[in-house]
Structure 1
């Protein structure tokens, strides 16, 4: 046992005073000295890698909210997330009553080719029981995913046969699409929702536009609500679909103060035709690059609420061990010269919805005030637009405060919605397919039984989440809509069906459709500018 006496304590204090009197040292040497001091003196043994990771992360926290550090493992996960695909068997599943149930089978994926069906129950994975084991969703995912071309053996229980069977599925590349939904709203108008900008976004947009045009699309609603951005190159690629050749998408200004310009190539598929873009408070980064360019060139009407306000570009810098520093390397500006970066020195930067809800901005456009110094003009019709803190839409649509009610989120987080959806489909799958063989019929005619909603309300009450009387009717309707949308996604296998159902109660979507369907309304936002007459040459 080591005993510390008064003399030793005084010596330690004097040592600290001596150190304090030392001349300043090279900061890099200081960092190395700190690392060695921890290694030599800290009570527990600490791995060098863990300490260095923490030091780098600490340095980056001092920069801005968007510079980030990814460890070697995190960097690998990030690359996979942005690659547009992952390796797996191609199913979506749900943990319900301590069992793993298949809710969707991705068409043409490995599981689909082996005959798995929605409603199948996975009993065991590679011989390990997963029924009644209280295994987490993350652990199930790790068991199903793996190296490409490696097998995974599943034991399945199928209600129709009332018997288990075993099947081996070889893992393959499963698309992780950035186009969340694409469909025809009516005979002339198409709809595309983008959830992210990744390495396959341009190819996906090409395919979606081609398919919609083949169905007669003349107008397009592009939904960027909730799209937090992604690769800048992908945003340029999507802008290329709508803007003519050599039109500026944005320019950036790096550390040296110069300017880098990014133009379209003229290889797009939808340079003509009416275009409405939906944005909201969570539309950020690459989404703002795209929507800002389309607004500045008077190419689209923007509908919704002011975007997030991220005008900083990150540059990935790989370190020798495979970790990555994603550093803010430049500020970007829209074609008219707008910077849309909002101030980021403050605790409320990321608490975007709560901050804007508290200010009243999400329900009243008049709350937003722009200084004259932030005033810019569009490049064709010379409309007034503003920089500084996000992109303001041309048509403001207030948020549905009931839709963002905490009760709905609590009920969903508690798994009560998933439980209701699963129970309803499990008991009615055959009857639903018979009554609604086509999604259009389901969308227009299906009414969720009120008893399903009431069961969720009762379950929520028992769990300490009572429905508030003031908004009870509206909350019940929104709950019924969510359940109907999830039923559609599972019955018809696709997120497009979920989105179509949810759009039926989306006010921004309704406004976008109104504007794009009315030539006068559309032209009020985007006046037709006649080209200047050419002057005759003097002789």
Structure 2
């Protein structure tokens, strides 16, 4: 897909944790190895093996080993892959969040954090060997050129794109390009049975980090942020400004499942709710040097109540925002204990286009607490400890959260907060049953719903084109026939998910999926959040405060 969610770094990070080195190499060797491998020249192989083992430094030994394998080993070996594995293993011995980004992934990671890519601006799927537009992306050139959901793109610059079993990667590479470059498309429109010749210029297409914003009720505005990218603060400001214009006196800032991103963006968002001079966060590096960030006078929402929603997958920059507000006695943190990542990474480029994201400091909330979970027993234990939350009961009961009195801190107003292991919310909201959550994640949040909904819309698009977004949200209902059809769709693919056990959830996700393809992400979130227990808690808390 041209539009994508970048999960590659998470997968890379987890994969690196499973590999094992037989001995530990210090950081100095890691840096020297990477530098030597990537920029080292050819070795002189007249040297004897004794010379190899009496080299004046370990980095020379490793450099030479790679070259011996490259030039002398009996079989062809991809030494680049050896280097990647070596660097991954070295970083995995440092901490859980120092990672290597291969050059094959750096562009995707950079686009995700920049908040845009250059292309035509469509979300697509290959349907019966045809490149089919699921929807056009707001702000991209395709929507301005008149491309519509359901269109089949037959050719791009005279290259045939149907009937070839093309991979998503091939299609993406074909549609992406240099900003301003032209691309000629031949499009078949099923709704009118006509072929169209459409010429457009590639341009920057936004990858939004604010998934949605809308009014929960007459007083509360809702904003969902999925990551902290370069564009996030601007998107956030636009959203909250519009919400206040629509009467919002309180903001529900949803940081659930937000893995973090740029620290500076988190600081800017926290600044909007804090008065001038309040400490937001401080960092401490290897030398013990501290860098403190304080709120400025520019905060436009200091008079607004704020509710920050977090869960066990809220990490890093999300925790900076939650910790800054909680420690300054501003707003209310709602949800479940956050992930617990208090390390700061800096991305360092390598000569071949790859990069190392290296931990360079720890950060601390205003009261001085570190919320980083211990990784003293290794990376595997670190991630296993996280998954134990699903077994030890803490996602169902706040009483099951283990806290240490030695990590107790107190805010200016006397509220007790704890370090070590994440931000503990002020108001706890339990997770629905683990089994139900697993089924929803595996099926209802998967591409299965999107694909099924698309097939339905492909046959009924003309019937729905005159329904307004507001009318769809308030009156459109998913029929039992549609639900039964989805059940059969799953059975045909060998998926034993019983829709009858989760019928209401299924209807909600089918309607939301349909809304996403018809109207966009904002409407998708608006429908899903109608039965959101955490948002219901926010509404209850705000009503109680307003009485």
Say if 2:392 is the partner of 1:359.
yes
CA–CA distance in 1 between the matches of 2:151 and 2:481? 25
Q: Which residue of 2 aligns with 1:441?
A: 471
Q: Which residue of 2 aligns with 1:377?
A: 410
- Normalising by the residue count of structure 2, what TM-score does the alignment of the two structures yield? 0.85
Post-superposition offset of 1:253: 1.1
CA–CA distance in 1 between the matches of 2:382 and 2:440? 25
Post-superposition offset of 1:165: 1.8
SS at match of 1:329: strand
Deviation string 1:262-292 (CA, Å, 9 cap, x unpaired) is 1122212211121101001110001101111
CA–CA distance in 1 between the matches of 2:233 and 2:521? 19
Contact preservation (8 Å) 1:96, 1:419: no
Go from structure 1 to structure 2 and tell me whether the alpha carbon gap of 1:181 and 1:265 turns closer, same or farther (over 3 Å shift).
same
Question: Which residue of 506, 518, 526 corresponds with 2:544?
Answer: 518
Question: Which residue of 174, 177, 186 corresponds with 2:217?
Answer: 186
Go from structure 1 to structure 2 and tell me whether the alpha carbon gap of 1:206 and 1:409 turns closer, same or farther (over 3 Å shift).
closer
Go from structure 1 to structure 2 and tell me whether the alpha carbon gap of 1:22 and 1:198 turns closer, same or farther (over 3 Å shift).
closer
Post-superposition offset of 1:123: 2.1
Q: How is 1:238-249 mapped onto 2 (pairs within 5 angstroms)?
A: 238-249=269-280
Go from structure 1 to structure 2 and tell me whether the alpha carbon gap of 1:426 and 1:201 turns closer, same or farther (over 3 Å shift).
same
Q: How is 1:332-411 mapped onto 2 (pairs within 5 angstroms)?
A: 332-344=363-375, 345-350=378-383, 354-379=387-412, 381-401=413-433, 404-411=436-443
- Paired residues, number: 497
Say if 2:515 is the partner of 1:508.
no
Post-superposition offset of 1:136: 2.6
Contact preservation (8 Å) 1:410, 1:465: no
Identify unmatched segments of 5+ residues in structure 2: 1-48
Go from structure 1 to structure 2 and tell me whether the alpha carbon gap of 1:414 and 1:200 turns closer, same or farther (over 3 Å shift).
closer
SS at match of 1:76: helix
Post-superposition offset of 1:474: 4.5
CA–CA distance in 1 between the matches of 2:518 and 2:77? 52
Deviation string 1:283-328 (CA, Å, 9 cap, x unpaired) is 0001101111011111121111110010000012233444322110
Post-superposition offset of 1:186: 2.2
Deviation string 1:407-450 (CA, Å, 9 cap, x unpaired) is 4444458853223201222233333343x32x233222221011
Greater radius of gyration (CA): 1
Q: Which residue of 1 aligns with 2:456?
A: 424
Post-superposition offset of 1:339: 0.6
Contact preservation (8 Å) 2:224, 2:255: yes
SS at match of 2:166: coil
Go from structure 1 to structure 2 and tell me whether the alpha carbon gap of 1:221 and 1:20 turns closer, same or farther (over 3 Å shift).
same
Contact preservation (8 Å) 1:308, 1:352: no
CA–CA distance in 2 between the matches of 1:473 and 1:353? 32
Deviation string 1:26-46 (CA, Å, 9 cap, x unpaired) is 222222232233234422344
Go from structure 1 to structure 2 and tell me whether the alpha carbon gap of 1:445 and 1:353 turns closer, same or farther (over 3 Å shift).
farther
Contact preservation (8 Å) 1:202, 1:237: yes
Question: Which residue of 214, 234, 241 corresponds with 1:203?
Answer: 234
Q: Which residue of 2 aligns with 1:466?
A: 496
Go from structure 1 to structure 2 and tell me whether the alpha carbon gap of 1:262 and 1:406 turns closer, same or farther (over 3 Å shift).
same
Post-superposition offset of 1:482: 1.1
Go from structure 1 to structure 2 and tell me whether the alpha carbon gap of 1:197 and 1:51 turns closer, same or farther (over 3 Å shift).
same
Identify unmatched segments of 5+ residues in structure 1: 1-17, 522-539
Go from structure 1 to structure 2 and tell me whether the alpha carbon gap of 1:21 and 1:132 turns closer, same or farther (over 3 Å shift).
closer
Go from structure 1 to structure 2 and tell me whether the alpha carbon gap of 1:403 and 1:161 turns closer, same or farther (over 3 Å shift).
farther
Go from structure 1 to structure 2 and tell me whether the alpha carbon gap of 1:353 and 1:460 turns closer, same or farther (over 3 Å shift).
farther
Contact preservation (8 Å) 1:402, 1:475: no
Say if 2:66 is the partner of 1:67.
no
Say if 2:158 is the partner of 1:131.
no
Deviation string 1:237-261 (CA, Å, 9 cap, x unpaired) is 1111111112111111110122211
CA–CA distance in 2 between the matches of 1:112 and 1:50? 41
CA–CA distance in 2 between the matches of 1:456 and 1:193? 28
CA–CA distance in 2 between the matches of 1:122 and 1:22? 60
Go from structure 1 to structure 2 and tell me whether the alpha carbon gap of 1:232 and 1:57 turns closer, same or farther (over 3 Å shift).
same
SS at match of 1:242: coil
Say if 2:504 is the partner of 1:477.
yes
Say if 2:300 is the partner of 1:269.
yes
Post-superposition offset of 1:348: 4.6
CA–CA distance in 1 between the matches of 2:477 and 2:314? 32
Question: Which residue of 163, 167, 172 corresponds with 1:141?
Answer: 172
Deviates more, 1:348-357 or 1:179-188: 348-357
Post-superposition offset of 1:335: 0.4
Q: How is 1:206-221 mapped onto 2 (pairs within 5 angstroms)?
A: 206-221=237-252
CA–CA distance in 1 between the matches of 2:279 and 2:147? 48
Q: Which residue of 2 aligns with 1:89?
A: 120
CA–CA distance in 2 between the matches of 1:214 and 1:275? 16
Deviation string 1:448-468 (CA, Å, 9 cap, x unpaired) is 011111111123233332235
Contact preservation (8 Å) 2:182, 2:200: yes
SS at match of 1:485: helix
SS at match of 1:349: helix
CA–CA distance in 2 between the matches of 1:267 and 1:74? 37
Q: Which residue of 2 aligns with 1:309?
A: 340
CA–CA distance in 1 between the matches of 2:393 and 2:531? 22
CA–CA distance in 2 between the matches of 1:267 and 1:504? 33
SS at match of 2:373: coil
CA–CA distance in 1 between the matches of 2:296 and 2:355? 31
